[in-house]
Chain A
């Protein structure tokens, strides 16, 4: 009643005496109020601390090795504490695998969203909505096991290739695409659909030429954010695609390296034992590479998020959304 939201709307102009009296009596309550306010602010600060710490360490430790050489060389022939090696093969793998995952998930996700918004009624629509939500909770490692099992059943055990990882990622990506696309399609005003239908346009053309076209900026944003979400997945790629030190452009044959797995792999190799008089040997080289790889990965994720936001800002329809 004292300094609360203006919407409270109580006429506070009169009687300062009464207010003073109330405050005196309620000292304890006000103390509790102040205390809880402090706790709530503290909670927010607590959450920001790790974010700042992660961002700061990744940038400060990664920037040292993050250069053109690092980005354009693979790990082929690099051993021990050599001051060499880069991340090119991992970037290639990450881009190919993620793009193929998007190629699988976007049509399925978009069509499902269209179904839910334009056609969905009754039991099927309700259960699809429900299980899309449930699917967002599938652990990434289970998605990886599923993709492995799927290919192992048809191609025999021990298959390691890029496309298996794409399938695993698409299991994780589809629900995200559905959710975001559904939200965007629901923003399209019904008047547009009705106007088009009244002009005699068939339903499917209404969907493609009116609904999708109106929502295209939002859809692109949603898809890019879902790509950013899966591009950092490590565990499913670790068990389906494996690790390799050289460049492999072929999604359908052989192991590939990906950025998150690269970071893990470098971390896992640990400190290099260097002889004290050995030149050209850096003990912490693997950790340095891991941090630089992490920086590369975070930059890609942030870039995707940023571009997604710019797309919404510049291409969104002007009157709504």
Chain B
């Protein structure tokens, strides 16, 4: 459809032929310079902007179209026809544990990543020597440049053997804590390992957004705190953190969105299962939506594909809500912040 076609490159030949015939100048802002090729170019640019919105709607529409056969079919018939659902009683019953696994992994990742990210953001904004700060920030951005499949490979072949004794120790000594209960996996291909890799992957975005807001703290607030005799940490606690709180929250939500949708790390590390289980040291307990799609999609029949797309639609809806909320917080605080 038109969403995938690129508009023609802006060139004199392409644009002048689009020139409207009559002088329809109903827009109040239209100046004498806004005619001919200029007007065509303006419409071209505006069209591209509108295309972004259309694209986002198209994503939702096409997913719904392809997911509809699975969504609209009665549960018992669907369970009978789709091999994926052999252990479930309905589509909802199938998606439920997947959503649970996705959210659990992302939440754990967030718990690991946020404190570290805040630390790094403070390090680059208030602790590191001014001249080094941007270089150190660049080092953190390199974490984002590593492809996800490489993280998956690293997590499965390097990290898992390293953390296995730690997980075994946790299971043995802190096993009364529900999260660490169960039978510890000998390969450490478990949700806790996944969560650590996810945390590393979402670190850059949380750090970048937090650093931005920390740097926006009004200079005068900081100096006032210091002038009252605050130590550097007290200054940060009294001036920087309260000012940056909403920014950090939205940064964390952006990270959450990333973690929810991350496929490869989960797919390559986790040994999957379809339970509502909090045992994050046990193999074969949870699975995430994205990893499940990637694992099942190549072998699925048309109705199975439809089912998987329905689960993808659920993922899309969840991440969309998280992202819209995060961006709304960022956008709202933009109006109040700065040097106004």
Contacts and interface: CB of A to CB of B under 8 A. Distances in A.
Partners in one complex: yes
Interface of A: 1-2, 4-5, 7-10, 22, 26, 29-30, 32-33, 36-37, 39-44, 46-48, 50-51, 53-54, 57-58, 103-104, 107-108, 111-112, 114-116, 118-120, 124-125, 127-128, 130-135, 137-143, 145-146, 148-150, 152-154, 157-158, 167, 170-171, 174-175, 178, 197, 202-205, 207-208, 228-229, 231-235, 238-239, 242-243, 260-261, 263-264, 267-268, 287, 290-291, 294, 297-298, 301-302, 305
B157 A43 contact: no
Contacts of B38: 202-204
Given A112-B49, A130-B331, A239-B297, A294 B319 contact: no
A84 B65 CA distance: 44
Contacts of B149: 232, 234, 260-261, 263-264, 294, 297
A138 B59 contact: yes
User: Is the interface on chain B under 10, 10 to 19, 20 to 34, or 35 or more residues?
Assistant: 35 or more
Given A9-B223, A111-B44, A124-B50, 11 more contacts: A4-B231, A107-B48, A108-B52, A112-B45, A150-B1, A150-B58, A231-B147, A235-B294, A263-B149, A264-B149, A264-B152
A132 B52 contact: yes
Given A47-B116, A141-B290, A32 B233 contact: yes
B56 interface: yes
A239 B200 contact: no
A145 B309 contact: yes
A8 B55 contact: no
25 contacts: A37-B232, A37-B233, A51-B143, A57-B157, A107-B9, A112-B45, A124-B49, A131-B52, A135-B55, A137-B319, A138-B59, A139-B257, A139-B261, A140-B148, A142-B315, A145-B63, A150-B4, A171-B59, A202-B38, A203-B34, A232-B146, A234-B263, A235-B264, A260-B148, A267-B157
Given A108-B7, A139-B290, A297 B59 contact: no
Contact of A264 (B123, B143, B264): B264
B116 to A, nearest CB: 5
Please give me the 8 A-B residue pairs with the lowest Cβ-Cβ distance, nearest first: A139-B261, A232-B147, A43-B119, A111-B48, A204-B41, A137-B323, A235-B263, A115-B45
A47 B147 contact: no
A198 B326 CA distance: 42
B6 A104 contact: yes
B298 A242 contact: yes
A2 B230 CA distance: 9
A305 B145 contact: yes
Contacts of B98: none
B39 to A, nearest CB: 9
B221 to A, nearest CB: 13
B244 interface: no
A130 B263 CA distance: 25
Contact of A140 (B59, B235, B261): B261
Contacts of A148: 66, 305, 309
A268 to B, nearest CB: 8
Contacts of B63: 142, 145-146, 149
A7 B223 contact: yes
Contacts of B235: 4
A129 to B, nearest CB: 8
Interface stretch (B72-80, B88-96, B134-142): B134-142
A134 B324 contact: yes
Given A9-B223, A242-B298, A54 B150 contact: yes
Contacts of A268: 268
A12 B33 CA distance: 61
A145 to B, nearest CB: 4
- Residue of B37, B65, B119, B158 contacting most chain A CB atoms (<10 Å): B119
B340 to A, nearest CB: 19
Given A130-B331, A235-B294, A238-B294, A149 B264 contact: no
- Residue of A43, A132, A263 contacting most chain B CB atoms (<10 Å): A43
A228 B235 CA distance: 39
Given A112-B51, A141-B294, A235-B290, A43 B116 contact: yes
Interface in B224-257: 226-227, 229-236, 254, 257
Given A5-B226, A33-B234, A43-B120, A139 B316 contact: yes
Given A115-B48, A120-B49, A137 B257 contact: yes
Contacts of B15: 204
Interface in B140-175: 140, 142-143, 145-154, 156-158
B62 interface: yes
Nearest to B227: A10
B320 interface: yes
A48 B147 contact: no
